Amino acid sequence: MDEEINRVYWVMKGKWNMMTDIPDFVQHHREVVRYLKSGFTALTDIRAFEIPAPKVLEVIIEMTKMMENAGMGRQAQIVNKKDLEGIRASRYVMKEVDMDLKMMQFGSFEEAIEWLNR
């Protein structure tokens, strides 16, 4: 998290089958929004993230909605462009959270940062 530029950074890796795989996930999301101002941006690296189990995906959607309600502006995701299944799952989350226009996917950190800084 960078309070000065009002941005949160997330790196999601591996396969999350149960919430016990990510015990602090919900707590970290709730804590981070206390330090950011409305309009904050988010950069999420999901290049090494596998599609999670359905119950975990529900929690990811819930936390994304919570961040949206807390004033999240735009979110950039760094994706592995060869991972079509992962991109589809990410777009599913965007649609569920109704953030289609505020969330974009990029193949590199530099592209994502450039878009967020506009």
- Supply the pTM of this predicted model: 0.77
**Residue 1, domain member (yes or no):** no
**Residue 99, domain member (yes or no):** yes
**Residue 64, domain member (yes or no):** yes
**Residue 58, domain member (yes or no):** yes
Summarised one tens digit per residue, pLDDT across range 57-67 is 889 889 988 99
CATH (domain of 62): 3.30.750
Partnered with residue 106 across adjacent β-strands are 78
Summarised one tens digit per residue, pLDDT across range 34-74 is 999 999 999 999 988 888 888 998 898 899 889 999 999 99
With beta carbons less than 8 A apart as the criterion, state whether 107 and 81 touch.
yes
- Count the domains in the chain: 1
3-class secondary-structure state, position 3: coil
Which of 103, 71, 101, 102 has the alpha carbon at shortest distance from 90?
Answer: 103
**Residue 95: domain span:** 7-116
Distance from C-alpha of 51 to C-alpha of 47, rounded to nearest angstrom: 11
